[in-house]
Amino acid sequence: MDSRTLGTGLQVSALGFGCMGMSQSYGPNPGDRQQMISLVRGAVDQGVTFFDTAEVYGPFVNEELVGEALRPLRDRVAIATKFGFAFDADGRQTGLDSRPEHIRQVADDCLRRLGTDTIDLFYQHRVDPNVPIEDVAGAVKELIAAGKVKHFGLSEAGVATIRRAHAVQPVTALQSEYSLWWREPEAEILPTLEELGIGFVPFSPLGKGFLTGKIDQNTAFTGTDIRSSIPRFSTEARQANQALVDLLGEVAARKDATAAQIALAWLLAQRPWIVPIPGTRTPQRLTENLRAADLRLSADDLAEIDAAAQKIQVQGDRYPAHLQRMIDR
């Protein structure tokens, strides 16, 4: 697989692997841990060198899974993880916490769970309004100086926060949602990242599965599936948003591809420093996703997709209200 560079020096595969879904959010968790470990290792065999996890995924168990899977392959991959949440004694997430002393403790805990001596990319998972971003960047800068972290990242941060953080410690990558059905980053975020030389890592590049065409208005989500609480996945919203999937399907049919591959190829074509991180639990879907890295959309293809997408008004918020409040503006 081709490689891309995030920031000024983190070289990774053009498509990464988002590992969250192996431990939470999309219905009952997989019962066979070894299958998930084999899937992660299979991704490396197919050229993936960039893996994304976080302490809050699980919580904690996703880092342990990723660490175990990648330990024999550690010299071939970059691992990104995240700090920024507080937990009670039972491991339940209770809010945000990006105090420098907490960041330092989380770094040590992440290193232990991952079974490694350095974190390739350490993101602030959500901006903490109670801690100046300069203090956050300064704490990560100290971790980089100590050799525990190689690169600093932000997630769901706004332009002002990005600039302030970058002035203290260069930001290598911003991770935020971006896809054909969430294009808000195009207005201010992408121009800012281009100006500052910061890479972009879109999560949910397939719209939490919707852009694959495998979900329709009749799909039922269980209470353990985060999509059951997301307004964009209400029955009415899915019915309205089907037009976007139909568009992808039309282009895919001409390209002998799938809707998911077109959605990922579209993202890759937006900027050379964008690295999407689709996730999956199956080898078949992994291979399908990764083949998108070899799919080239022409200027005419991109213009057609853009013109048609502009006519589609996507319905529904992308988060329930309590999660929407955590987004930095």
Does a structural domain hold residue 329?
Answer: no
Residue 22 is predicted with a pLDDT of: 93
Q: CA nearest 124: which of 116, 111, 136?
A: 136
Name residues whose C-beta falls within 8 Å of residue 227's C-beta, 6 or more positions apart in sequence.
26, 208, 209, 221, 233
Are the C-beta atoms of 150 and 118 separated by less than 8 Å? yes
Strands 119-124 and 199-203: unpaired
Residue 255 is predicted with a pLDDT of: 96
Name residues whose C-beta falls within 8 Å of residue 238's C-beta, 6 or more positions apart in sequence.
210, 215, 216, 217, 219
Q: What is the CATH number of the domain that holds 245?
A: 3.20.20.100
Name residues whose C-beta falls within 8 Å of residue 223's C-beta, 6 or more positions apart in sequence.
none
Does a structural domain hold residue 162?
Answer: yes
Burial class (CB in 10 A: 0-12, 13-18, 19+), 48: buried
Q: How far apart (Å, rounded) are the C-alpha atoms in residues 218 and 127?
A: 36
Name residues whose C-beta falls within 8 Å of residue 163's C-beta, 6 or more positions apart in sequence.
192, 196
Residue 24 is predicted with a pLDDT of: 81
Residue 53 is predicted with a pLDDT of: 98
Residue 316 is predicted with a pLDDT of: 95
Q: How far apart (Å, rounded) are the C-alpha atoms in residues 247 and 258?
A: 11
Count structural domains, the chain.
1
Q: How far is CA 298 from CA 40, 201, 295, in A?
A: 31, 22, 10
Residue 322 is predicted with a pLDDT of: 84
Quote the tokens at residue 69.
């899977």
Residue 229 belongs to domain spanning: 3-324
Are the C-beta atoms of 325 and 298 separated by less than 8 Å? no
Residue-wise pLDDT tens digits, 229-284? 999 999 999 999 999 999 999 999 999 999 999 999 999 999 999 999 999 999 99
CA angle, 190 then 195 then 200, to 5°: 40
Residue 224 is predicted with a pLDDT of: 85
Q: CA nearest 323: which of 95, 23, 82, 131?
A: 95
Name residues whose C-beta falls within 8 Å of residue 279's C-beta, 6 or more positions apart in sequence.
17, 18, 19, 20, 21, 22
Q: Is the peptide bond before 283 cis (omega within 30 degrees of 0)?
A: no
Q: Which residue has the tokens 């990560």?
A: 140
Q: How far is CA 8 from CA 141, 194, 272, in A?
A: 16, 12, 13
Residue 25 is predicted with a pLDDT of: 79
Does a structural domain hold residue 10?
Answer: yes
Are the C-beta atoms of 179 and 267 separated by less than 8 Å? yes
Segments of the chain with pLDDT less than 70: none
Does a structural domain hold residue 129?
Answer: yes
Active site residues per annotation: 57
Q: How far is CA 7 from CA 137, 150, 155, 166, 273, in A?
A: 15, 12, 15, 11, 8
Residue 30 is predicted with a pLDDT of: 75
Residue 222 is predicted with a pLDDT of: 86
Quote the tokens at residue 20.
């969250």
Q: How far is CA 217 from CA 214, 228, 233, 314, in A?
A: 10, 12, 9, 14
